[in-house]
Amino acid sequence: MKQTRRDFVRTLFVASQGIVASRFLPGRLFAETGPAPSAALNFLVFGDWGRQGEPDQAQVAEQMGKVAHDMDAKFVISVGDNFYDNGVASTQDKHWRKSFEEVYTAPSLQVPWYVTLGNHDYRGDCDSQIAYSRLSRRWNMPARYFWLSKKIDASTTADFFFLDTNPMIREYREKDKEGTREKILAQDVPKQLAWFRESLAVSEAQWKIVVGHHPIYSGGDHGDSPELIESILPLLEQYKVQVYFNGHDHDLQHLVAGNVNLIDSGAGSRVRPTKETPHTRFALSSSGFTAVSLQADQMDIRMVDNNGKTVYSTAIPRIPVVVVKDE
């Protein structure tokens, strides 16, 4: 059987990342098997959370459990900064129990968690977060960047591209104020960007969704990321990516750049001030998370605060995708 470009990209990525665990072979990592969902693909998105069960984290976790139950969420996406302040030291670090296992205890949250890395995670051992995937039934971080496919219905697929944006940030490469410069410089940014471009090009999914820790545009404390505006946003626009989820700024925001919706959901625990920008549709300094209901032709977004109140909702229509054929 002839190997397609899409299969080649996936196989090349798995080989280059050194994924050896059987649960992360290409068929398991990139494609959801079984019957397609009958109505919508429902999931939660949040980030910047792991503070050993502090009150604000616990409040958000409680509301996540309620919303996940009500909407029958199929998975949770974490946009990074999973463990404060210094990541985890190993797969046996107490953070796993105090910040994750003993906080997100609701039955509705015992679903797959798909996780990306934040800058605070780089202060610890990122490889331990990858390795924990082999010990946990719900923690899924097969590599620092990866591609995941989910079925919405019999004829509609969503492709999720999880990025490691940390080594893309110039300040982290030039300064060592967080003690992470050596780890950052060890990452091959051109290789990741090449993989990302090629993966977007071969994706035939009706929905393309990208997840990263750092914002592209933001009215939050950290603000815009010029490096991502330069290197990531043009690819999102070129390949008709509809949504980019991020954290880093500790708030809830919806911004729009061209046809790309930017959803900041970094309010999993402590929050910081935010403001409106020319790209802003919504901004609120509040702990909370984002609930997503993805249908064939529309994505419904609902932002929920730590008291369970829906503070913002919007509908994002599907836009046509670009399919790049082999010449």
Report helix, strand or coil for 113.
Answer: strand
DSSP H helix total and E strand total for the chain: 10, 14
Rounded CA gap, 267 and 305, in Å?
9
Rounded CA gap, 63 and 290, in Å?
11
Which is catalytic among the residues 222, 248, 250, 279?
A: 222
- Residue 137 DSSP symbol: S
229 backbone dihedrals φ, ψ, rounded to 5°:
-60, -35
User: What's the CA dihedral at 25, 93, 213, 205 to 10 degrees?
Assistant: 20
Report helix, strand or coil for 245.
Answer: strand
Element (H, E) at 327: none
279 is catalytic: no
Q: Is the dihedral of CA 298, 299, 303, 308 positive or negative?
A: positive
Question: DSSP string of 41-83?
Answer: EEEEEE-S--STT-HHHHHHHHHHHHHHHHHT--EEEE-S--S
Rounded CA gap, 171 and 181, in Å?
9
Q: Could you list the active site residues?
A: 222
